[in-house]
Amino acid sequence: MKLLDHSEIQNLEVGRIITLVLWIWCLFALLIYIVICNTIGPEVVIDSERTDSVFNILKYILYVIAVVLLTAAYFLHKAIFTPGSTLNHIGRWLTGLGLFPLIFVYMRKERSALWEYIPGMFSIYTLCLAVGIYGLIIFLIQGDWFALYILVGSAAAMMVYVRPRKQELMDFAIQIKEINNSAVRLSSPI
């Protein structure tokens, strides 16, 4: 039995291209952070000896938050896109907490793979971009090149890990279609 017809595959390919463009722009934004810091250099660093300990504490807090966000991005990706995952519903719920209200996904009678895939990937990319911004903040406050490169590099590495994959989207669409088909069978009268 062929699970996806030609028009569904074309729609999924368009959605994957949209996600790929988002992914490229997010990677480009991470590169821009490094270009900005290399251009302005450490001359703009806040120079204050009294608040150095406060900035060190802030740096370590941002490191911890960055680790939490990258871990959340990894598990959100696993929760949403692993076929048959018990965390699937939790992942979709967490995605709904972001910029895309879950009501638009669940008000539809049939769930759409693209309605869940694009917001999910965008939510993951935003977590990665936040980590890059933390590197930029630490650089602007302390002139710490190491923190900049570590945080932007780890964000870029996570972005590469969660890049849009065609097979992942196809498997996800098949999973959603099976859920829709089973929901139709359960709701139909005997």
Average pLDDT over the chain reads 79
Question: Is the model more confident about 180 or about 160?
Answer: 160
Does some domain include residue 155? yes
Does some domain include residue 131? yes
Q: Are 37 and 136 in contact (CB under 8 A)?
A: yes
Query: What mean pLDDT is predicted for residues 97-102?
Result: 48
Does some domain include residue 81? yes
Does some domain include residue 181? no
Strongest mean pLDDT among 135-139, 140-144, 154-158: 154-158
In this predicted model, what pLDDT tens digit does every residue of 109-124 receive, in sequence order? 455 778 778 888 888 9
User: pLDDT value at position 47?
Assistant: 59
User: pLDDT value at position 189?
Assistant: 53
Does some domain include residue 135? yes
Determine the residue type at 159: M
Measured distance CA(163)–CA(19) in Å, rounded: 9
- Return the DSSP state at 100: S
Question: Is the model more confident about 30 or about 104?
Answer: 30
Measured distance CA(118)–CA(179) in Å, rounded: 19
Where do we find the tokens 């406060």? 54
Measured distance CA(94)–CA(54) in Å, rounded: 33
| Confidence at 90, pLDDT banded by 50, 70, 90 | low
Does some domain include residue 143? yes
Q: ∠ CA(94), CA(160), CA(144), 5° rounding? A: 90
Residues 6+ apart with CB under 8 A from 55: 46, 141, 142
Min mean pLDDT across 1-10, 45-54, 181-190 is at 181-190
Does some domain include residue 176? no
Number of separate domains in the chain:
1
Measured distance CA(22)–CA(118) in Å, rounded: 9
Sign of the C-alpha dihedral computed for residues 141, 33, 78 and 92 taken in this order:
positive
Measured distance CA(16)–CA(34) in Å, rounded: 27
| Domain housing 38 | 6-45+52-167
| Confidence at 50, pLDDT banded by 50, 70, 90 | low
Residue 34 has pLDDT above 50, yes or no: yes
Residue 125 has pLDDT above 60, yes or no: yes
Residue 185 has pLDDT above 80, yes or no: no
Does some domain include residue 178? no
Number of other CB atoms surrounding residue 40 within 10 Å: 12
For the record, the structure tokens of 2 come out as: 């062929």
The pTM assigned to this predicted structure is 0.78
